[in-house]
Amino acid sequence: MGERFAVLQLTGCSGCEVSMLNAENWLHENQLVYMPLILSAEDIPEVNTLLVTGGVYTEDDLYRLRLAARRARQVVPVGTCAVSGGVANLGHRDAVRQVFFDRMERRHVPRLLPRCRPVDAVVPVSRYLTGCPPTPELYMALLFDTPGFEAARTVCIECGRRKTRDRPQRLIGFHGGEVDPEMCLINQGYLCIGSSTRGGCRAPCPRAGHPCVGCRGPSTGFIERSSEEWLESIQRVFRRMTDIPPEEIDRGIRSPQFALFLFQFADYAEAPRDKDKVF
């Protein structure tokens, strides 16, 4: 049996855990010793690798993370919530928090912390596995150094759709119109940001006809740069490939469809990660 690893789930949706379970190789390579979603165990034993999903949003999250990190040789935040706070971070608003703090007498649920924090704000980490959720292949490459695995620089490179000279003049909604299965989504008028998003996922969304929304986070070139620089890079791509007014692109990028991942890019800018640690 290979190395022992554990999965600690904090405030999240279990999507990352389900994705990992879809990768069957780990059953034969490493020994999973702790994962509450499927294993009944109270305590995390000593492990080589601790994968952490979800953000640190409750006192219980904070306690369990600090305790588990002491028992692992390396800690790896997995997914958008663990890397940058994720969807729970969208609730970091005074009005929303007040709803919970007005009911402090409720003792049967963990008390919320003032804000949802990423894992590396609490404990040192060795690497980051980004995605919402990371694909099964990415789990395998991280855990087992899969021979021959190579991530492209951006999702756009992995997508492989054909660029054309078509220059749309307006944006098409996420589910509007009929998608050409071969043509680049930008050339069809869809707001796809795969050109600035980290590769490695094999582009399942744009290949299926759904624009990339940036769940893998910034490509290596933008990890240590501001979110505004990332937004400007997307604008440049659309200026080069379309005749869509810049203000329309800007409104689209800042729309609710991109809100979760705009938070992620902004978080990278506020607390830059070592780009060599981002997988």
Model confidence over 47-61: pLDDT tens digits? 999 999 999 989 999
Q: How far, in Å, CA of 76 to CA of 82, rounded?
A: 9
| pLDDT given at position 99 | 52
| pLDDT given at position 243 | 97
Q: Is residue 132 a contact partner of residue 15, using CB atoms and an 8 Å limit?
A: yes
| pLDDT given at position 96 | 45
| pLDDT given at position 268 | 66
| pLDDT given at position 158 | 95
Q: What secondary structure letter does DSSP report for 28?
A: H
| pLDDT given at position 98 | 59
Model confidence over 113-151: pLDDT tens digits? 777 788 998 999 999 999 989 999 998 888 877 777 888
Class of domain 4-144: alpha beta
| pLDDT given at position 109 | 57
Domain borders along the chain are 4-144, 155-272
Residue ranges in the chain whose pLDDT is less than 70: 1-2, 24-29, 87-110, 174-176, 256, 259-260, 262-270
The amino acid occupying position 103 is R
pTM for the whole thing? 0.76
| pLDDT given at position 47 | 93
Region of 71 (left: φ > 0; alpha: ψ -120 to 50; beta: rest) is alpha
Q: How far, in Å, CA of 200 to CA of 123, rounded?
A: 26
CB atoms within 10 A of CB 258: 19
Q: What secondary structure letter does DSSP report for 183?
A: B
Give every CB contact of residue 277 below 8 A, 6+ residues apart in sequence: 125, 126, 127, 128
Nearest CA to 234 out of 253, 211, 215 is that of 253
| pLDDT given at position 170 | 93
Q: How far, in Å, CA of 22 to CA of 224, rounded?
A: 32
